[in-house]
Amino acid sequence: MIDLSVNPYNIYGTCDSDKKANLREAIFNRNLLMMTKSENGVKGLIPCFNDTDITTYMNQKNVRKALHIPVTLPEWNICIPFQYEYQKQYTDMTPFFKKIYAAKVPMLLYYGDTDLMCNFLMGQKFSAELGFPIIEHEKAWKFNGQVGGFKTVYDGLTFTTIRGAGHMAPQWRAPETAYAIKQFVSNQPI
């Protein structure tokens, strides 16, 4: 079974829990056992996530009304299993990146380096396998005099990590992430 005491979205972050944590862990492990290697179907759950605030917010009458949620629908809950079942339309994004590359539209891929769910090694491998010519080999970039991450610049694609950020890089390292994006959009080196 998966040890949910390590936050897979930020390995150095806390593993928040709430009164439903034990139930969530049991559901996660049950779903993990039920997963198949189906090419089109994926099931999952959000471990180490305290959903008390978001659940309370999403179930407020004024919020549901503002979001046009019919009163006939049940309360919002992050752990409803059908929310985590979806069909993959594409199993490989390479053709899309190559089409964007052919159109000469610059691309930025950024990853928090403490995220296990969409980890930077996966993104680094994907970027390299696209086969675009390397303009600048991996090197550190600085933010406020400190290492902000590591970047590799390809023709048409910049791959970078955001140092110390997890899955939600803009949430956990907002200044560094904003800097990287601003530099990229301004056609300036990160």
Tokens for 114, please give them. 């403490």
Report d(CA 138, CA 161) in Å as an integer.
Answer: 10
How many distinct structural domains can be found in the chain? 2
75 plus 98 within the same structural domain? no
139 plus 178 within the same structural domain? yes
What pLDDT does 16 receive?
66
pLDDT in tens, 119-175: 999 999 999 999 999 999 999 999 999 999 999 999 999 999 999 999 889 988 999
Tokens for 186, please give them. 């301004």
Average pLDDT in the chain: 83
98 plus 170 within the same structural domain? yes
Report the candidate in 138, 145, 151 with the shortest Cα–Cα distance to residue 181: 151
> Is residue 95 packed enough to be buried (19+ CB in 10 Å), middle (13-18) or exposed (0-12)?
exposed
137 plus 158 within the same structural domain? yes
Does 11 fall in a domain?
no
Average pLDDT over residues 45-60: 77
101 plus 179 within the same structural domain? yes
Does 77 fall in a domain?
yes
138 plus 118 within the same structural domain? yes
Domain stops at, among 66, 87, 108: 87
Domain stops at, among 31, 63, 87: 87
Largest CA distance in the chain: 56
111 plus 174 within the same structural domain? yes
More confident residue, 183 or 43: 183
Helix (H) or strand (E) holding 19: none
134 plus 65 within the same structural domain? no
70 plus 120 within the same structural domain? no
Does 14 fall in a domain?
no
126 plus 149 within the same structural domain? yes
What pLDDT does 64 receive?
95
Q: How confident is the model at residue 39 (pLDDT cuts 50, 70, 90)?
A: very low
What pLDDT does 70 receive?
94
Domain that holds residue 158: 94-185
Report d(CA 103, CA 60) in Å as an integer.
Answer: 46
Q: What is the β-pairing status of strands 157-162 and 107-112?
A: parallel
Question: Which CATH number is 113's domain given?
Answer: 3.40.50.11320
Domain stops at, among 40, 59, 87: 87
pLDDT at residue 94 above 60? yes
Q: How confident is the model at residue 37 (pLDDT cuts 50, 70, 90)?
A: very low
Report d(CA 49, CA 9) in Å as an integer.
Answer: 9
Report the candidate in 106, 125, 123, 129 with the shortest Cα–Cα distance to residue 190: 106
What pLDDT does 176 receive?
98
125 plus 66 within the same structural domain? no
